Structure 1
Amino acid sequence: MADPATHLASEAETAGDTDVTSRIRDAILQGEFAPHQRLIEADLSERFLASRATVRSALMHLVSEGLVERLPNKGARVRSISVDEAIEIVEVRVGLESLCARKAAERVTDAEADELRQIRDDMTQAVAQGNLLEYSRLNQLMDARLRQISGHATASVLLERLRAQSARHQFRLAFHPGRATESAPEHAAIIDAVIAHDGDAAEAATRQHLCGIATLLRAMT
């Protein structure tokens, strides 16, 4: 029989790894670590009050997510995502997010529909007020809720990884002149189709929205 104390210690270590992984991931996505910046284990250990082993495990997780890369004899650094790669990621997201939108339209409850309406209205208000940070936050919330409502676990896991890799480019697009006024109605169309239980319309609206993102990214190359 396994030692209960050993089992609890293992669970605590796993929870610690997950927490440090999330904190380093957030720091990368929020621009606290720049592309190609070295991630020194000793510095990260001090910053996040974690053991070197925990930091090393966290970096391995982030390597598997595509946010960090390891170089021979140089340790780890933040991986830079090119515009071309970001376009490829969006092209893959088209299929996955369209699927989630269709599934969400099939499964959405009345309570979830009310929540989506509120997100839609808040997004419209944020754009009208020129609050692009809040609009960007609501955009991420909408995407997350649609994935959750869809109930498609595999697509959700893949999308989380893809969105993390292209987060910097997404943030740049959110502040591109006039982009918010174009994308807000597109988001509203997705939400309205999901609320109406119209899978075809939800899929089409999602596809149109993401194809617009790919087009804008191409213009940035």
Structure 2
Amino acid sequence: MQGKPVVDAIRDAIVRGEFVPNQRLVEADLSARFAASRAAVRSALLELTNEGLVERVQNRGARVRAVSLAEAVEISEVRMMLEGLCAAKAAERVTATEIGELTAIGTHMRAAVSSGDVLGYSRLNQTLHRRIREISGQETASRVLERLRAQSVRHQFKLAMHPGRPAVSLPEHLAIIEAICAHDAEAAEQAARAHLRSVIAALREVDNAEGGVRHLP
């Protein structure tokens, strides 16, 4: 395994909780686990550090960066503004072909929630947000959002696994899709912001349910 696959493998392990916050990431161990060279692992850790998933500690090497509830909320507040902008831009630019694509994603999201396919719904969620960014053509906002998404990917995965969350977020996503497909920029922006406000509320709810743990697992 070389290059990008090593990055993906380590990232997935962090997202799924196989590596916990503040856990040391030892190059030799990662090299053996993922059948990758030390150089490839070192490069992957550097990339994940740039993404905000890993941090370097002086004289101690790399470790999984812990994301506090307060930071997760701050990230979501910034995302609220930028995703609202991208949704509005997407509503202005969306083509007939892209409308068909977004509508299909919405249909698949409904099916995933109905069948209880939480992981499938989570993947569709990520696909929808990515396509809206791409359709928007707002490259600066897209770059910032991609960095924020990487930093908050653990709590996004955690929320997706939280009982009942997909049923709450489904109508929020469908509202965004409907507004974009109707070329209603204002409604699309408001729907995107409403969704992120819901995410913030859910983050706090999950934190409270777990007894106020200050770091997202």
**TM-score (norm. length: structure 1):** 0.86
1:29 paired with 2:20, answer no
| Structure 1: 5+ residue stretches without partners | 1-15
Q: 1:53 to 1:131 in 2, by over 3 A?
A: closer
Q: Counterparts of 1:177 and 1:51 in 2: how far apart (Å)?
A: 39
**1:69-148 paired onto structure 2 within 5 Å:** 69-148=55-134
1:149 paired with 2:107, answer no
State the number of aligned residues: 206
Query: Contact (CA 8 Å) 2:15, 2:157: kept in 1 or not?
Result: no
Report SS of the residue matched to 2:56. strand
Partner of 1:10: none
**TM-score (norm. length: structure 2):** 0.88
* Matched-pair identity in %: 60
Q: Counterparts of 1:61 and 1:115 in 2: how far apart (Å)?
A: 31
Which amino acid is 2:132 matched to?
L
Partner of 1:160: 146
**1:169-180 paired onto structure 2 within 5 Å:** 169-180=155-166
Which amino acid is 1:144 matched to?
R
Partner of 1:216: 202
Q: Counterparts of 1:55 and 1:207 in 2: how far apart (Å)?
A: 38
| Structure 2: 5+ residue stretches without partners | 213-217
Q: Counterparts of 1:45 and 1:155 in 2: how far apart (Å)?
A: 35
Partner of 2:215: none
What is the CA-CA distance between 1:141 and the residue it aligns to? 1.0
Q: Deviations 1:76-113 (Å, cap 9, x if unpaired)?
A: 11111111111111001011111111111111111111
What is the CA-CA distance between 1:188 and the residue it aligns to? 0.3
Larger Rg: 1
What is the CA-CA distance between 1:131 and the residue it aligns to? 1.8
Instruction: Choose 80-89 or 176-185, whichever is displaced more.
Output: 176-185
1:63 paired with 2:75, answer no
Partner of 1:9: none
